[in-house]
Structure 1
């Protein structure tokens, strides 16, 4: 008898690539100058190309025009990593595990905010409960980055934030961004 775990069960999540392996992949792709240069860059909005990630993961090469960002979001329970290939990105994140269901508005405690700058070659791995936003704060330069997630994103929750108040605004499914 063969047992196959659901793609979103805990057994399946632990079977795929680790966050560290996803980060190694993202850094490796980010160092591929020819691939990075092949991404068409739009002056108005983000551009992206889907990549084959390791071990069944989902991966993306993303172009960021000056002044663009993702807004606050999570990755629906997937772990992941990203690395900057060119330009610079800022990640703002929350150092707290949020409940995934049963709330619309949360007041965040003091001291949970984190921020890091990611220059070319630098990256970040994260676990299943990571909430963040990624920004290209440059006034005049594009950035390009590589992102990988396992399991492939089942959904993304989008949040708004006013001061210490985080509000769940929308739940997106893959068909909305692929």
Structure 2
């Protein structure tokens, strides 16, 4: 990627979630940076690496089917921001007591998180073609994927960033629309 084409300066230090919010919005406004590289298929979520440097990683992700689901996960040491370009995702946060909290995040909306955040993202049922822009600082190198054991215990599995996130075992009931 030609760094001169980016709608922001390449950072020389880690970024906070608010700065990442500005970056995902700027990248969303520049589909020439990601649209042609983003494959679209209903078989799986696909992504395009828009930019990776020492302190920043940016991905565009396509969600073409209702079953596209990350499962509960964390981002290891990375802070992040997600902007919904089109369509909608269901954003759910794991709770130790009670049902997960969740809501639809629609086109034009953004959410941010720090490195302690555990969540799940899936395409909002019936939302149609959905595209999101994700920014991580530092770049995502690993994620932790969560599931419930047969005894009801919470489990975490370290997963390299290159591996497609998907539910690993029981995830509980998804939140309602």
Alignment gaps of 5+ in structure 2: 1-12, 165-177
User: 1:94 is matched with which residue?
Assistant: 94
TM-score normalized with structure 1 length = 0.73
Which of 1 and 2 has higher RCO (CA within 8 Å, sep 6+)? 1
Matched residues in 1 for 2:109 and 2:54: separation?
22
Contact kept in structure 2, 1:66 and 1:137, CA below 8 Å:
no
Asked if structure 1 preserves the Cα contact closer than 8 Å seen for 2:33 and 2:50, the reply is no
| Equivalence for 2:6 | none
Query: Where do 5+ consecutive residues of structure 1 fail to align?
Result: 1-14, 96-107
Contact 1:84 1:121 in 2 (8 A): yes
TM-score by length of 2: 0.73
Counterparts of 2:162 and 2:39 in 1: how far apart (Å)? 22
Cα root mean square deviation, aligned: 2.4
Write the distance in 2 (CA, Å) between the matches of 1:150 and 1:128: 9
| Corresponding position of 1:84 | 84
Pick the structure with more helix per residue. Answer: 1
1:110 aligned to 2:98? yes
Using the TM superposition, give the Cα deviation of residue 57 of structure 1 relative to its aligned residue in structure 2, in angstroms. Answer: 0.7
SS of structure 2 residue aligned to 1:117: strand
> Aligned partners of 1:175, 1:36: CA distance in 2, in Å?
18
